[in-house]
Structure 1
Amino acid sequence: MRLRFLGIIPNTPDIDSPTIWLDEDSGDLLIQSYKATDKYEYDVTFPNVAAGELIRWLPRRKSADIPLPGTDLWMFDRSAVLFTYFSGVGEVVDREWRTEPAVVKLVSSAFEAVWERAIPHEEYKPL
């Protein structure tokens, strides 16, 4: 394993400072001395909120009965979906543009169910 130092989170103490390394053999990112938890994701979401993005958090226990698409996607005007497929190391492998009404309906209904159950960012408190 060949590691390359990528960076350190600024303004952290010298001991247990979160650092990020790249495994040059596998392409994996290694985060040292920090556990990526809901609290971490919550804390680094501030710039998105400040920019006006509406963010909600869906606890896993509230999602078990929602039929969710199996990959990342963008939906456009409730008429088209762009699926993105990634490799095991996070590289984009393919994209697929879909416009079939059944596919659009599945994505739209999943999004609506998630949005309805999810907790608005300003009300969410990570454990």
Structure 2
Amino acid sequence: MPQTAPPFSELLANCQRSAVHLEMRDFYDDPDEAPRVAAWKAGHRPDPNDRASWWRPWLDMVSEAVSRGVVIRRARIVSEPVSEYTRYLYDGTFTNIAAGEQVRWLPRRNASDLALPGNDFWCFDDRLVRFGYFSGEGVYLGDEVDDRAEVVKLCASAFEAVWDRAIPHDRYRI
């Protein structure tokens, strides 16, 4: 049964083997991220040699989980030509990879015959799904977790189908 999600940091800290994330939106309106997006629009790019300036505490959580043996994969389904926000994500993805994530991109036109859940999600250890809900304008509205076997199976299968078709970050060009 869906229920309110505990903090993401807790979900990742309790993860033992794998965490997969499927992103299906072309824009997210996150107030915490707005200053980084504005800086990017003004021409700022993260410095690969200045890890201390990268997105914290997210990258620290990822690095810690990966150091414990958790495999973290992120797949992004994107419209092409890509949105300005997707270009922003693309330019900063090297930080996710440096922290230990594996990232792939799937052009939306290549996902038409895939059965996908209606919302972005994280799936932890193939046992728990955390759905994220967003408004039409990309504003985060909340999340919930679901541990029903059929929901977990749907999300895990959908993620693997996307992952199999998606292009690794180092080969994807926008």
Shorter-chain TM-score range: 0.5 to 0.7
Q: 1:52 aligns with which of 92, 95, 100?
A: 100
- Per the alignment, do residues 42 and 10 of structure 1 end up closer, same or farther by CA in structure 2, a change over 3 Å counting? closer
The CA RMSD measured in Å over matched residues stands at 2.8
Spell out the pairing of 1:1-127 with structure 2 (5 A cutoff): 7-9=38-40, 12=43, 36=84, 38-88=86-136, 90-126=138-174
Q: Between the two proteins, what is the percent identity of the paired residues? A: 49
**Matched position secondary structure for 2:170:** coil
Change (3 A) 1:39 1:93: closer
Partners of 2:85 and 2:41 lie apart in 1 by: 19
> Aligned partner of 2:95: which letter?
P
- The residue type equivalent to 1:121 in the other structure is H
- How many angstroms does 1:90 deviate by? 4.2
Separation in 1, partners of 2:88, 2:164 = 24
CA distance in structure 1 between the aligned counterparts of 2:152 and 2:116, rounded to whole angstroms = 12
Greater helix fraction, Structure 1 or Structure 2 = 2
Q: Judging changes above 3 Å, is the alpha-carbon distance between structure 1 residues 83 and 10 closer, same or farther for their aligned structure 2 residues?
A: closer
- Number of aligned residue pairs: 101
Separation of aligned partners in 2, 1:125 and 1:104:
31
Higher RCO, Cα 8 Å, sep 6+: 2
Which residue identity is paired with 2:145? Answer: W
Secondary structure of 1:48 counterpart: helix
Structure 2 residues without counterparts, runs of 5 or longer: 1-34, 44-82
| TM-score normalized by the length of structure 2 | 0.49
Distance 1:87 1:50, change over 3 A: same
Unaligned 5+ runs, structure 1: 1-5, 13-34
State the Cα deviation string for residues 32-55 of structure 1 (Å, max 9, x = none): xxx606544322212112222111
Per the normalisation by structure 1, the TM-score is 0.65
The one-letter code sitting in structure 1 at the alignment partner of 2:166 is: A
